[in-house]
Amino acid sequence: MDWVKRRKISFTDQILTTLAISRIFLLFSLTASLFVSERLPAIRITRRIVKQICISWTATNHFSIWLATCLSIFYFLKIASFSNSIFLHLKWRVKKIVSGTLLASLLFLFLNILVINTHTDIFIYSIETNASFSVISSNYSQVHRLVLLTNTMFTLIPFTVTLTVFLLLIFSLWRHLKSMRYNAKGSRDVSTAAHIRALQMVVTFLLLYAVFSLSLLLQFCNIIYKQKNSVSLLFWTIGVAFPSGHSYVLILGNTKLRQAFISMVWWLRCRLSDVKPPVS
């Protein structure tokens, strides 16, 4: 709506929009992966299907995590207050820093896909050599395990960056509260509120990402010990909590998104009850 009215969109909204798109495709790729691994007959799982699922899940998971990391960096540079010359240099070039971080992450994406493709091709070739048909049978789970392990290793980098941002935000808030002791007490401090909101966003991302990593680890162990399909579905549901839960937190923490969400709920209620919304 802002884009239509003002013919431009803010840098934060660009990140949020791109993040939302990546989350939609991530949920789609997770669902497709679950369907193939649990429902599709093994005889139909070909080399092409395996590589498409691996690359799509790797790419969507990469952008989902790195865009959230870039959002944390943006909030940190905008809100935190340090007198260090290096920090001030980065603060004045926040858009370039965030854009450069996202572009640099493409190198990790390229390396991630390269590692997965190389090992997947070797693994599939070894299966096809020992089989009379050019498909991957029940050994597809081994490829899935390889993808889980490789993606988890590569996503430790944005997790470390976000954790560093979290610690620096806490330090910045501590310094700010310390300096506020010498100023008027009892007044509403905008900077403190901004720090707290940013910390809530970052903490939520870290916690949900930890849950997501735990679900990947559980899926990895599940493949090794070959548990029932219901256990796999449970681990998949836990993994979905990261992209879905973090998106809800971003909506509730952003004023414009929260207002748009409330308006949408009112519109849906009015459509369902055939009652016009109240005129504000």
| Higher pLDDT among residues 111 and 44, named by residue | 111
Query: Mean pLDDT over residues 243-270, rounded?
Result: 83
The CA distances from residue 43 to 48, 154, 216, in Å, are: 13, 31, 26
Which pLDDT score is estimated for 280?
47
Confidence at 187, pLDDT banded by 50, 70, 90: very low
Which pLDDT score is estimated for 137?
46
- The average confidence (pLDDT) of the chain is 76
Which pLDDT score is estimated for 135?
45
Measuring CA to CA, which residue among 154, 191, 167, 141 is closest to residue 38? 141
How far from chain centre, in Å, is Cα 81?
A: 26
Instruction: Express each pLDDT in 5-21 by its tens digit.
Output: 777 788 888 888 898 89
Instruction: Express each pLDDT in 194-224 by its tens digit.
Output: 767 777 778 877 777 777 777 767 766 655 5
Query: Mean pLDDT over residues 103-115, rounded?
Result: 91
List the structure tokens of 88.
């001030």
| Higher pLDDT among residues 179 and 182, named by residue | 179
Least confident of 81-95, 109-123, 186-200: 186-200
| Higher pLDDT among residues 38 and 279, named by residue | 38
Q: What percent of the chain has pLDDT over 90?
A: 8
| Higher pLDDT among residues 188 and 82, named by residue | 82
Residue 169 has pLDDT above 70, yes or no: yes
Query: Mean pLDDT over residues 87-106, rounded?
Result: 89
Which pLDDT score is estimated for 108?
92
Which pLDDT score is estimated for 134?
43
Which pLDDT score is estimated for 268?
85
